[in-house]
Structure 1
Amino acid sequence: MLNIVLHEPEIPANTGNIGRTCVATNTRLHLIEPLGFRLDEKNLKRAGMDYWGSLDVTTYIDYADFLERNPGAKIYMATTKAPKVYTEVSYEPDCYIMFGKESAGIPEEILVQHQEDCVRIPMVGDIRSLNLSNSVSIVLYEALRQNGFAGMNLEGHLHRLHWGDSGKLL
């Protein structure tokens, strides 16, 4: 099972959307405090819809607590400061993909400890970053693709449409 880690997220709607994506992909969500919101906040629940109750979520008091409770975890760091693109690494089925807070990203003192595992999403021009929930989706789905979308529904089915004698759609 893959793991998404949010380091000090600030915007409840982003975290709610990420939580919904985690439920849809059977991915664990890890939240490193301080959070810019309360977990019972209405905006968080609204963005996560009725999926929040099904979310496998763990909170940590700080980054040291996260490391202590997840010893030996393979952690990829999503950052605009990375030298390689997120598609250039092979994501293990149980790896952790960390994203920083919306206003500042992952602190550099953490990034320098994981330089080889830093990945970026390509962008043009002077754009500082993408929306956090969009960034999580982009990288998470690449990791899922690399792992064969294990346990996920890979095809949908259209309902057959029938035309009546009058030429109207039934």
Structure 2
Amino acid sequence: MKNHIALYEPVMPANTGNIARTCAATNTTLHLIHPLGFSTEDKMLKRAGLDYWQEVDIMEHESFEDFLNWAGERPMYLISKFAQRIYTEADLASNVYGEQIFLFGKETTGLPLDFMQAHEADALRIPMNDEHVRSLNLSNTAAILIYEALRQQSWQGLDEIHHYRDTDKARELNW
């Protein structure tokens, strides 16, 4: 199963950098839908992604329409605090396409309302106490969703045991 995280017009470089790092760790393709609220050369973006940028499969789309054309018939989940269905209720492990997309809206305004209304059945949310907090951080939400998908997919393509590159360091720690 191939997972994709798509960010609709992201505005905060640190969020995008953190999500890129999560994508590198999970073999997930990251889609950036323009316009972006920052340059991809932004130091906050690069700092958040650390030295993992070369490991991230990134696709950029010049517009939402271009992204939707690329997405075609691939299953897509819209992530929104306004969704009716909780993310754990979705079957994220099996579909006939072998791919799925998790689409996240702009940090400040979310996804376009007309698009959300037209695809309400495909929207998922994470339960939260919204009396105290408007929303969860975008990068945290992306990590929760992708790791739930991978859990349902039996961690396909991931190591369940960490193998240190630096075996001397591992011995020093008695691991």
Same fold (TM over 0.5): yes
The residue matched to 2:124 in structure 1 has which SS?
strand
- 1:60 deviation in Å? 0.8
Alignment-mate amino acid for residue 134 of structure 1: N
Q: Once the two structures are superposed, what CA deviation does each residue of 1:139-168 show, in whole Å capped at 9, x if it has no partner?
A: 110011111110101124775739xxxxxx
Match of 1:98 in 2: 103
- 1:107 deviation in Å? 1.6
Alignment-mate amino acid for residue 58 of structure 1: M
- 1:67 deviation in Å? 1.1
Alignment-mate amino acid for residue 105 of structure 2: G
Residues in 2 aligned to 1:161 and 1:76: alpha-carbon distance in whole angstroms: 43
Residues in 2 aligned to 1:161 and 1:51: alpha-carbon distance in whole angstroms: 27
Give every structure 1 segment of 4 or more consecutive aligned residues whose post-TM-superposition deviation is greater than 6 Å. none
Question: TM-score, normalization: structure 2?
Answer: 0.87
Question: TM-score, normalization: structure 1?
Answer: 0.90
Measured on the aligned residues, the alpha-carbon RMSD in Å equals 1.6
% identity of equivalent residues = 44
- 1:18 deviation in Å? 0.2
Residues in 2 aligned to 1:16 and 1:69: alpha-carbon distance in whole angstroms: 23
- CA 66–125 in structure 1, closer or farther in 2 if over 3 Å, else same: closer
Residues in 1 aligned to 2:75 and 2:157: alpha-carbon distance in whole angstroms: 21
How many residues are matched?
A: 162
Alignment-mate amino acid for residue 161 of structure 1: N
Match of 1:13 in 2: 14
The residue matched to 2:99 in structure 1 has which SS?
coil
Structure 1 or 2, whichever has the larger Rg, is 1
The residue matched to 1:17 in structure 2 has which SS?
helix
Q: 2:140 matched to 1:134?
A: yes
Q: Where do 5+ consecutive residues of structure 2 fail to align?
A: 164-169
What are the equivalent positions in structure 2 for 1:10-159 lying under 5 Å apart? 10-91=11-92, 92=94, 93-126=98-131, 127-156=133-162, 159=171
Alignment-mate amino acid for residue 148 of structure 2: E
Q: Once the two structures are superposed, what CA deviation does each residue of 1:18-38 show, in whole Å capped at 9, x if it has no partner?
A: 000000000000011110101
